[in-house]
């Protein structure tokens, strides 16, 4: 267990990133999202800060003396200046809509090349998120849609000069060309160990259909299904190298961060 330097109970942690010798964790406590900074070499806490602008934060990215926070509950990406001991100057970098609410479920952010990309479910067609079947990957630097028709995309990552993501409802890990690996739960969370070995997280989801194997967002109602674990896989030969069971800690994993020695 890692000490985030926050003395009150923490309900959930939903984003991880690293930069300039620090690790940052986005978490929910006392009815507000907060961010903690840790030293990367020993994981000791440096500071903790409230982020009142963030509604239902799902992902963070430290980049060029800035931190980008995905504010899922307001359809926004919020940018902060990253100072030595705090975040400052919050401003809206990009919006999926002007609703100020969660209508697109924007949920991850990544940089590749000189451009930033996000993943999002897209609007619901019914009362539940299971009805949002036209998810997408969007370039928020050029404001260009690069892929659509994804059933619950999460956890964008970049490798080999291309983007990868989880298609959570189909339990899949995908490149922009299509599915590569199948997982045992609601896939969400990607960390690369090298150019061929990837660590992918799965969470318990809600059963949509036993015959199709589709699985819904854990926030939807229904019977729980799947596993909460980490699977380390080779994307070339599809070999399962190792598996870490984490259901003893809870039903869901939001993010994976690989630390180099």
Any idea where the domains of the chain sit in the sequence? 12-187
Quote the pLDDT of residue 46: 97
Give Cα 155 distance to the centre of its chain.
Answer: 4
Is residue 209 predicted with pLDDT exceeding 80? no
Which residues does 245 contact at the CB level (< 8 Å), separation at least 6? 227, 228, 229
pLDDT at 225 over 90: no
Domain 12-187, CATH: 2.120.10.30
* Structure token digits, residue 80: 């902060």
The Cα–Cα gap between 128 and 241 comes to 36
Give mean pLDDT, residues 138-164.
96
Give percent above pLDDT 70 in the chain. Answer: 100
Residue 160's pLDDT is 86
The answer on pLDDT for 219 being more than 90 is no
For 177, residues 6+ apart whose C-beta sits below 8 A from its C-beta are none
d(CA 84, CA 52): 20
pLDDT digit string, tens, across residues 228-253: 999 999 999 999 999 999 999 999 99
Residue with tokens 């899949």: 172
Q: Are 173 and 192 in contact (CB under 8 A)?
A: no
> In this predicted structure, what is the pLDDT of residue 121?
98
Q: What is the pLDDT of residue 261?
A: 64
Residue 62 token pair: 């430290």
Q: Give which of 90, 9, 93 is closest to 54, Cα–Cα.
A: 90
């Amino acid at each position: 267990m890692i000490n985030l330097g926050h003395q009150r109970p923490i309900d959930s942690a939903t984003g991880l990133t690293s930069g300039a010798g620090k690790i940052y964790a986005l978490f929910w406590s006392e009815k507000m999202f907060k961010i903690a900074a840790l030293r990367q070499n020993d994981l000791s806490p440096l500071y903790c800060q409230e982020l009142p602008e963030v509604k239902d934060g799902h992902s963070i990215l430290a980049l060029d003396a800035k931190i980008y926070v995905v504010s899922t509950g307001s359809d926004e990406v919020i940018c902060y200046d990253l100072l030595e001991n705090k975040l400052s100057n919050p401003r809206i970098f990009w919006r999926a809509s002007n609703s100020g609410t969660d209508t697109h479920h924007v949920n991850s952010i990544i940089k590749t090349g000189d451009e930033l990309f996000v993943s999002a479910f897209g609007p619901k067609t019914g009362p539940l998120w299971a009805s949002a079947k036209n998810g997408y990957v969007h370039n928020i630097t050029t404001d260009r849609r690069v892929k659509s028709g994804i059933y619950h995309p999460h956890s964008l990552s970049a490798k080999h000069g291309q983007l990868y993501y989880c298609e959570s409802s189909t339990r899949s890990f995908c490149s922009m060309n299509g599915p590569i690996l199948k997982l045992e739960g609601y896939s969400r969370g990607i960390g690369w160990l090298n150019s061929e070995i990837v660590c992918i997280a799965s969470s318990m989801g809600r059963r949509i259909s036993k015959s199709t194997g589709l699985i819904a967002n854990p926030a939807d109602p229904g019977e729980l299904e799947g596993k909460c674990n980490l699977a380390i896989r080779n994307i070339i030969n599809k070999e399962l190298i190792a598996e870490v069971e984490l259901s003893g800690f809870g039903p869901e994993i939001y993010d994976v961060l690989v630390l180099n020695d």
